[in-house]
Structure 1
């Protein structure tokens, strides 16, 4: 009888141990929709490749949805759990009085990510050089274009009177349009800007990121209901992101380029190092996931000046910093 009790006790202990292991090893899938594929999002790819999400028990299913409207539609229709997109999209959604608003919970980038590229080499560039030229900007209503207009006005240029502003070309075709002869200047993301400079197509003369100041340019967001029903998951997600942000802030350019290469197979490592260095040097990568009130207000100022702000929205209405502060 004593032996039987001992065996039963050992069996129960084993079952408890196995159950505990199964709970610990359980992996939860999280579907993330990113607005575009860009080296601007290096910390996200590092979090995946370094296994920071995996350490938290998360399996990230990453989909590129190519455009803010498509990304938000994917999130709202439950095609994704989390979206990586500009914070302005959450304001657009809120203006429609949704039952389940979209909430920003972790910031990835904190500046604009575009650069001003000149067709001709310009020595000692000044913003006033743009007057009387043809400027190939970004899509109207999008954050890149709004930030672009904000920077022009800041430097004494009326984007609709002092130059010829072209903003009716699809995002995917802007670089091609410039390379085939459209525009004296163009607003471009990396790595295209550096690639054009490398190929002699254009020359980087200024950064919209350094000129427009800190703002929640790209953040992770989700529906309010998802945050409430999956609090632990979002906490794990944000912790993994913070680990990646710290890593990106101190790691070598060579190591970072190798880590993100699977997402940019057609881009040379040297070029990726140049791009990552440029973004990191100007402070584009947020070093923690907290979206603060000053950044939020700067975003709305830029939107308002562009005539695209449907209504003022308080920081606490569409931003939840609890997860980010806990992770930090």
Structure 2
């Protein structure tokens, strides 16, 4: 068996194919001894990769993009989320929401786990013609803290992940006004990346890992979430499993797990937003950051 450890920026249901591959024995079938960790400080994932504790990182593509040409080179080889599983919620239901409705409002956007919740939201708002000078932001705090503050009365809208958004709506505490997966189209939100040295290993550990994930993707396309009830209850015991099953089926239908390959169109649009927001000077060429040839014969 070949060891493969993933250091991930979180442990959450939108990463489900990774758990399905473990549950159904797809890693073992590839001769992989799979393990994963999700450190409290997400930046630990980079230290894990550089120190050899991890072989692969699961996180945002913006990290390899920002480091490209600035001291570290990483290559993404698969997207676990082909769309951004985020949503903007409000305290009351909003019919016919328009991004311009946020002008004159205060929006809470978490940032302790990464920059995408704010940057992607802001990019969609600019594309919709929002006067950004009229929107006030509360940023850079954890999602759990901002959710608690929002429920306590702070701000007018909250950017959160789709799972949390749908649980808030289920409890009638907040209501989904717009979903990033629908409004934003293709966007490689969570990707697997590593170093060229790992990609070039003779044992093809990354390629075997990719094939196990592809099998999990294929299984999820053919089976409903109810068949994963035990897995969901075991991995996320604090969440209502019945509600979570319906949320997972919604994620299956959303296109978030349609394709492991990183879309060039989605890549281009995400890089455009990152440049627009000042995180990048210019968009790295697709082939500089992405290795999309992972399937073994």
Q: Name the TM tier (shorter chain).
A: over 0.9
Question: In 1, Cα distance between the equivalents of 2:280 and 2:228?
Answer: 37
Contact 2:187 2:270 in 1 (8 A): yes
Q: For residue 322 of structure 1, give the secondary structure of its aligned residue in structure 2.
A: coil
Choose from 14, 26, 37 the match for 2:11: 37
Contiguous gaps of at least 5 residues in structure 2:
none
Of 48-57 and 71-80, deviating more is 71-80
Q: Which digits, 9 at most, give the CA deviation of each residue in 1:277-319, with x for residues without a partner?
A: 222222112x332113222211211111222114421111121
Choose from 93, 97, 100 the match for 1:128: 100
Aligned residue runs from structure 1 range 1-328, under 5 A: 27-66=1-40, 68-98=42-72, 101-139=73-111, 142-159=115-132, 161-285=133-257, 287-323=258-294, 325-326=295-296
C-alpha change, 1:230 and 1:82, in structure 2 (3 Å) is: farther
**RMSD value, Cα:** 1.9
Contact 2:232 2:241 in 1 (8 A): no
Contact 2:80 2:260 in 1 (8 A): yes
Question: TM-score w.r.t. structure 2 length?
Answer: 0.93
Q: Which digits, 9 at most, give the CA deviation of each residue in 1:80-107, with x for residues without a partner?
A: 1111111111112223233xx2111112
Of 128-137 and 64-73, deviating more is 64-73
C-alpha change, 1:235 and 1:264, in structure 2 (3 Å) is: same
Contiguous gaps of at least 5 residues in structure 1:
1-26
Q: Report the CA distance between 1:70 and its aligned residue.
A: 2.8
Runs of 4+ in 1 over 4 A off after TM superposition: none
Question: In 2, Cα distance between the equivalents of 1:59 and 1:252?
Answer: 27
Question: TM-score w.r.t. structure 1 length?
Answer: 0.84
